[in-house]
A and B are shown apart, each in its own frame.
Chain A
Amino acid sequence: MKPIELLSLAPLLIVAAGAVLLMLLIAFGRHHQATAQLCSLIFAAALLACWQAPGSDSITPLLSFDAAARSVQALVILAGLAVTLLLYGYLQELTEPVEEMYLLLLLAVLGAGVLAGARHAAALLLGLEIMTVALFAMIAYPRGRTQALEATVKYLVLSAAASATLLFGIALLYAASGSLLLSDWQATPGDGLALLGGAMLLAGLGFKLSLVPFHLWTVDVYHGAPAPVTAVLATISKASVAALLLRYLSGLEPAAALQAALSLIAAATILFGNLLALLSQNVKRLLAYSSIAHLGYLLVPILLGGPLATEAVLFYLAAYTVTTLGAFGVVSGISSGQAMRDADSFAAYRGLFWRRPYLTSVMTPMLLSLAGVPLTAGFLAKFYVLAAAVEQQAWGLITMVILGSAIGLYYYLRLTIVMFQSPAGGRPAREGRLSETSITAGVALATMFLLVFWWGIWPQDLIAWLAAA
Chain B
Amino acid sequence: MDLSWALPTLVLLPLAGGVACWWTERLGLQWPRWIAALTFALDLLLLLWLWAQADIAAGLLSAPAASPQFFWEFQREWIPRFGISLHLGLDGLAILLIALTTILGLVAVLCSWREIDRHVGFFHMNLLWNLAGVIGVFLALDLFLFFLLWEWMLVPMYFLIALWGHENPGGRGRVYAATKFFLFTQASGLIMLVAILALVFLHHESAGVWTFNYLDLLHTDISATAQYWLMLGFFVAFAVKLPALPFHPWLPDAHSQAPTAGSVDLAGVLLKTGAFGLLRFAITLFPDASAAFADTAMLLGVVGIVYGASLALAQTDIKRFVAYTSISHMGFVLLGIYSGQMLALQGVVIQLLAHGISTGALFVLCGELYERIHSREFAAMGGLGQRAPRYATALMFFGLASLGLPGLGNFIGEILILFGAFKTAPVLTILAASGLIFGAVYSLLMLQKVLHGPASSDAPIEDLVPRESAMLLALMGLLLAMGLYPQPLLDTAHASLATILLLAGGVGS
Q: Do A and B interact with each other, yes or no?
A: yes
Give me the interface of A with B, judged by CB distance under 8 Å.
368, 373-375, 379, 383, 386-387, 390-391, 398, 402, 405-406, 409-410, 413-414, 417, 420-421, 458-460, 463-464
Residues on B with beta carbons closer than 8 Å to the beta carbon of A379: 148, 151
Cα distance A338–B25 in the bound complex, in angstroms: 38
Which of A387, A398, A413 is within 8 Å of B182, CB to CB?
A: A413
- Pair B162/A374 contact, Cβ less than 8 Å: no
Complex A-B, nearest 10 residue pairs according to Cβ-Cβ distance, in ascending order: A406-B187, A374-B148, A390-B197, A374-B151, A402-B190, A417-B162, A463-B81, A390-B198, A460-B79, A387-B197
Distance in angstroms between the alpha carbons of A458 and B186 in the assembled complex: 22
Q: Is the CB of B193 within 8 A of A383?
A: yes
Q: B147 near A374 (CB under 8 angstroms)?
A: yes
Contact B179 A413 (CB under 8 A): yes
Asked if residues A460 and B201 are in contact (CB atoms below 8 Å), the reply is no
In the bound complex, do residue B183 and residue A406 qualify as a contact, i.e. CB atoms below 8 Å apart? yes
Find the A residue at minimum CB distance from B187. Answer: A406
- Is B250 in the interface zone, CB < 8 Å from A? no
Q: Which residues of B contact A409 (CB under 8 A)?
A: 179, 182-183, 186-187
Q: Are B155 and A373 in contact (CB under 8 A)?
A: yes
Contact A402 B197 (CB under 8 A): no
Besides A386-B190, A417-B162, A420-B162, 12 other CB < 8 A contacts?
Answer: A383-B193, A383-B197, A386-B197, A390-B194, A390-B197, A390-B198, A398-B194, A410-B183, A417-B178, A458-B78, A460-B79, A464-B81
Whether the Cβ atoms of A402 and B151 lie closer than 8 Å is: no
B 133-167 binary contact with A (CB < 8 Å = 1; else 0): 00000000000000110011011001100110000
Bitwise interface map of B from 65 to 82 toward A, beta carbon under 8 Å scored 1, else 0: 000000000000011111
Name the residue in A374, A386, A413 with the highest tally of chain B Cβ atoms < 10 Å from its Cβ.
Answer: A374
In the bound complex, residues from chain A placing their C-beta under 8 Å from that of B193 are: 383, 386
Contact at B148–A406, with CB atoms within 8 Å? no
Q: Please measure, in the bound complex, the distance between the C-alpha atom of A468 and the C-alpha atom of B368, giving whole angstroms.
A: 60
Give the total of B residues in contact with A, Cβ under 8 Å: 29
Q: How far is the CB of A162 from chain B (nearest CB, A)?
A: 34
B151-A373 in contact (CB<8A) = yes
Count of A-B residue pairs with CB < 8 Å? 68
Task: Check B197 against A463 for contact (C-beta < 8 Å).
Answer: no
In whole angstroms, what is the CA distance A414 to B151 when docked?
18
* Contact call A402/B194, Cβ cutoff below 8 A: yes
Minimum CB–CB distance for B134 against chain A, Å: 14
The answer to whether the Cβ of B175 comes within 8 Å of any Cβ in the partner chain is: yes
Shortest CB-to-CB span from B477 to chain A, Å, is: 38
Interchain CA distance A19-B502 in the complex, whole Å: 70
A to B CB contacts below 8 Å, 5 in the list = A398-B194, A402-B187, A405-B190, A414-B175, A460-B79
Docked complex Cα distance between A387 and B191 (Å): 13
Interface SS majority for chain B: helix
Closest Cβ of chain B: how far from A248's Cβ, in Å?
A: 26
**What are the residues of chain B within 8 A of A413 when measuring CB–CB?**
158, 178-179, 182
CA distance A414 to B178 in the complex (A): 10
Interfacial chain B residues near A459, Cβ < 8 Å:
79
Residue of A nearest to B151 (CB): A374
| CA–CA, A413 and B154, complex, Å | 12
Residue of B nearest to A395 (CB): B194
For B151, what are the chain A residues with a Cβ–Cβ distance below 8 Å?
A: 373-374, 379
Q: Are B159 and A420 in contact (CB under 8 A)?
A: yes
Nearest-CB residue, chain A, relative to B204? A391
If A374-B147, A386-B197 touch, whether A460 touches B155 (CB-CB below 8 Å) is no
Which residues of the other chain, A, contact B158 by a CB distance below 8 angstroms?
413
Enumerate chain A residues within 8 angstroms of B148, measured Cβ to Cβ.
374-375, 379
Residues of chain B within 8 A (CB-CB) of A374 are 147-148, 151-152
Are A402 and B191 CB-contacts (below 8 A) given A374-B148, A417-B162, A460-B78? Answer: yes
Given contacts A390-B201, A417-B162, whether A460 and B80 have CB atoms under 8 Å apart is yes
Contact present for B186 and A463 (CB under 8 Å): no
Q: A383-B193, A414-B179 are in contact. Are A391 and B201 (CB under 8 A)?
A: yes
Complex-state Cα separation, A413 to B81, whole angstroms: 32
Given contacts A406-B187, A460-B79, contact A368 B155 (CB under 8 A): yes
A191 to B179, CA, bound (A): 50
Give the complex CA separation of A458 and B147 in angstroms.
Answer: 16
B159: chain A residues within 8 A (beta carbon): 420
Alpha-carbon separation in the docked complex, A368 to B158 (Å): 12
Assembled-state Cα–Cα distance A368/B162 (Å): 16
Contacts of B186 in A (CB 8 A): 405-406, 409
Task: Enumerate chain A residues within 8 angstroms of B162, measured Cβ to Cβ.
Answer: 417, 420
* Residues in A neighbouring B190, C-beta threshold 8 A: 386, 402, 405-406
In the complex, chain A residues whose CB is within 8 Å of the CB of B155: 368, 373
How far apart are A203's CB and chain B's nearest CB, in angstroms?
Answer: 31
What is the CA–CA distance of A460 and B76 in the complex, to the nearest angstrom? 13
A231 to chain B, nearest CB (A): 25
Chain A residue with minimal CB distance to B149?
A374
Beta-carbon nearest neighbor of B79 in chain A? A460
B189 smallest CB distance to A (angstroms) = 9
Residue of B nearest to A456 (CB): B148
Chain A residues with CB under 8 Å of B154's CB are 373
Q: Complex Cα distance A386/B78, Å? A: 20
**Which chain A residues lie closer than 8 Å to B147 at the CB level?**
374
| A contact residues around B201 at 8 Å (CB) | 387, 390-391
| Cα-based distance from A171 to B183 in the complex (angstroms) | 48
Looking at B80, B81, B154, B190, the one whose CB has the most chain A CB atoms below 10 A away is B190
Expressed in whole angstroms, the Cα–Cα distance for A142 and B152 within the complex equals 42
A416 to chain B, nearest CB (A): 9
When the two chains form the complex, which single residue of B81, B178, B183 contacts A460, counting CB atoms closer than 8 Å? B81
Question: How distant is A210 from chain B, measured CB to nearest CB, in Å?
Answer: 24
Contact between chains at A410 and B187 (CB < 8 Å) = no
B residues within 8 A CB of A464? 81
CB distance from B158 to the nearest CB of A (A): 7
Q: How far is the CA of A421 from the CA of B175 in the complex (A)?
A: 10
Contact with A along B198-215 (1 / 0, CB 8 A): 100100000000000000
Chain A residue with minimal CB distance to B195? A390
Which A residues are in CB contact (< 8 Å) with B163?
417, 420-421
Q: Which residues of B contact A391 (CB under 8 A)?
A: 201
- With A and B bound together, what is the CA distance between A459 and B79 in angstroms? 7
Min CB gap B137→A, angstroms: 12
Determine how close the nearest CB of chain B comes to the CB of A81; give it in whole angstroms: 28
Give the docked Cα–Cα distance between A172 and B316 (Å): 72
Closest residue of chain B to A390 (Cβ to Cβ) is: B197
Nearest Cβ in chain B — how far from A333, in angstroms? Answer: 22
Provide the residues of chain B in CB contact with A368, threshold 8 Å: 155
